Amino acid sequence: MLILIQFFAIFLTSVLIPMTFLKKTNSLVSLSATALVLALLGGCGSSVNLDEAPVADRTGTQVDTAANGTSGAAGTPADARAVPLVSADSQNTGEPPASVARIIYFDYDSYMVRSEFTATLEAHAKFLKADPKRRVTLQGHTDERGGREYNLALGQKRAEAVRRSLAVMGVNDAQQEAVSFGKEKPAVAGSDDAAHAKNRRVELSYR
Amino acid sequence: MPLTGAHAQFRVEVSGVGLTQLPFSIAPFKGADALPQDLVAIVKADLERSGQFRHVNPVVGVLLDETSRPDLAPWRDRTADVLLTGSVSRLADGRYDVRFRVWDVIRVQDLGGMSLPVTAADLRLAAHRMADYIYEKLTGEKGIFSTRIAYVTKTSSRYSLWVADADGENAQAALGSPEPIISPAWSPSGGLLAYVSFESRKPVIYSHEIATGRRRLLANFKGSNSAPAWSPDGKTLLATLTLDGGSQLYSIDLASGAHTRLTQSGSIDTEPVWDVAGKNIYFVSDRGGAPQIYRMGAQGGQADRVTFSGGYNTSPAISPDGRSLAYVARVGGGYKLQIMDLASGTVTSLTETVADESPSFSPNGKLIMYATRLQGREALMTTTLDGRIKTRLSGGQGDIREPDWGPFLL
């Protein structure tokens, strides 16, 4: 298309006298050539240099006359920059073990599972081993400080620590997946130490 | 659920003054009175945001368009060095023909003009193209006003990925999701956005064709998939995967889907970016005990540390000329945008804010866009590389983050 336009631009400039200021281009050649350019450009929204294409006399109705060259086109061309909206839906979750905590908290800048959570993880391990069809996702989270992608990697370290603990307790690798949400889904809002402590966590989510 | 662009109207706030700014003026466009967009105002804001231009009020009572040969003396008296004239007329197919001409007032020289036939929806685009034309004629560098940006907003329980003009206006939602969306990255051609979506309750990487909404799952490996970065030729994607537990860098061949591990560390390696030539990869690693920026060859191997000051340096972005590295450093408990001259290693802090994130360069390398927090709210900003001229592109509602500046469009 671009090559075509360039070809015609060269063609036009060779046929027509280059535009001079306040010049009245009243020839039929000029008008039909303008129509030709507009027809060529129809739908692609391309631009032309004023000095490579004739400028019609603007005092009369020539613009309309020139534009009639495109009257055969079907309506207004689609906006080349339109962006359609896609809607994403999240997936359902599975049933977790009853009466067992599903959140493991971490110390500041730490990626070790504290011993107080051993009993909780053992209950999850027992639940998973009882039915090999059960699947758990270990979702690592961080507090809000620092970059999003780096926090995603830090959350992954926490999820991975829980995954290793469950593996040591005999949970099959195929039943668990360590993933991270980084700082994207804080459990509580706020920027104080208490909020940060509640957000440094791994959530066990069944699917 | 249709989301309209009106949702995200932006406000331009320029703070700070540059040393040498070129004075320009714009004569009211003939036939532009009843337009849905104020083209002159858009061109004016574009040029001012660059930091390289200063607006001068037009001469009153003179009617000019692109066919006029204006008497430039009164414009020279107003100290305008450049004058933009033009007109808008309606075409029979409903489109608008935006025509303009640029004058060098000092040399009394015609700097040329164009005819831009556009739909009503593209009137803003025509204004941005005029600003690009003036910018290039006067500075010798390509303008970035007609390029596009992507960013993410978060309202109470909804995340949206937006595509907007470089001035933040004309925002159109490309994706809506109940789960987070992070790290949008434009493909080199500007037709695709890669991003990390949590819609399947884990981070996976999609590429999203902007014009059609067609999506392709690029990385959905076990564990987390994040930090997408297109190679300059658009054939390879770098990503952070966790196939062996920790976060490591991989390259993914987009034709075959084959993935190759690039780093072999027991530490975190993430946030890869290519340099312009596609020869080197900059990335973040905590292999030295704290996150720092490193550089290695495109095939992996030996990595050299690039940042040395401070204990937390993340989110690298390389300027299009390959000379500058923008990144975010933790300084005194705050996170601040920095720029490093790679040849000398000299680092300059660019902001007064303390929650800066996600820098990306404009395709002509003259501006950096980044996210930060102002008056308790997330905001998008642009800054010149010397930090002197900053513009706020503030969203209408909710939080706004994760900007990425798209490439030049043909």
ipTM (interface pTM): 0.92
pLDDT score for B396:
57
pLDDT of residue B16: 55
Q: What are the two backbone dihedrals, phi and then psi, of residue B63, each rounded to the nearest 5 degrees?
A: -95, 120
Q: Could you tell me if B336 lies within 8 Å of chain A, comparing CB atoms?
A: no
Mutation site, B4, B115, B338, B372, interface A, largest A CB count within 10 A? B115
Angstroms from B366 CA to nearest CA on chain A: 24
Pick from A86, A139, A152: CB nearest B175: A86
Tell me how crowded residue B177 is: count the other CB atoms within 10 A of its CB. 19
Chains A, B: CB contacts within 8 A come to: 229
> What is the pTM for the complete model shown?
0.85
What pLDDT band is residue A67 in, cutting at 50, 70 and 90? Answer: very low
CATH superfamily of A103-206: OmpA-like domain (3.30.1330.60)
Provide the sign of the torsion angle of the four alpha carbons B337, B341, B342, B346, taken in this order: negative
Domains, chain B, in order of start with CATH, read 13-139 (3.40.50.10070), 148-405 (2.120.10.30)
| Concatenated DSSP letters of B324-345 | EEEEEEEETTEEEEEEEETTT-
- C-alpha torsion B154→B160→B164→B169, nearest 10: -50
Single-letter amino acid, residue A155? G
List the end-to-end C-alpha distance of chain B, in Å, as a whole number: 31
Q: Running along chain B, 410 residues long, what does each successive block of 10 average in pLDDT?
A: 34 54 95 92 92 93 93 95 96 96 96 96 96 96 96 93 92 96 98 97 97 96 98 97 97 96 97 94 97 97 96 97 97 96 97 97 97 91 91 76 93
Say what the pLDDT of residue A32 is. Answer: 41
Break chain A into its structural domains and give their ranges. Answer: 2-70, 103-206
Tell me which residue in A45, A79, A85 faces B117 most closely, judged by beta carbons: A45
pLDDT band at A108 (very low <50, low <70, confident <90, very high): very high
The alpha-carbon gap from B166 to the nearest alpha carbon of chain A, in Å, equals: 13
Hey, are the CB atoms on B182 and A148 less than 8 Å from each other?
Answer: yes
Provide the pLDDT for residue B270: 98
The pLDDT, as a whole number, for residue A40 is: 39
> How far apart (Å, rounded) are the C-alpha atoms in residues A50 and A16?
13
- Element housing A32 (H / E): helix A28-41
Inter-chain CB proximity A90 and B242 less than 8 Å: no
CA terminus-to-terminus distance, chain A: 52
pLDDT of residue A177 exceeding 70, the answer is yes
| Secondary structure (3-state) at B48 | helix
- Burial of A13 from C-beta contacts in 10 A (0-12 / 13-18 / 19+): middle
**Under 8 Å CB-to-CB from B410, ≥6 apart: which residues?**
none
Give which of B68, B72, B93 to mutate to test A binding, by max A Cβ within 10 Å: B93
d(CA B261, CA A180): 20
Q: What pLDDT is attached to residue A53?
A: 39
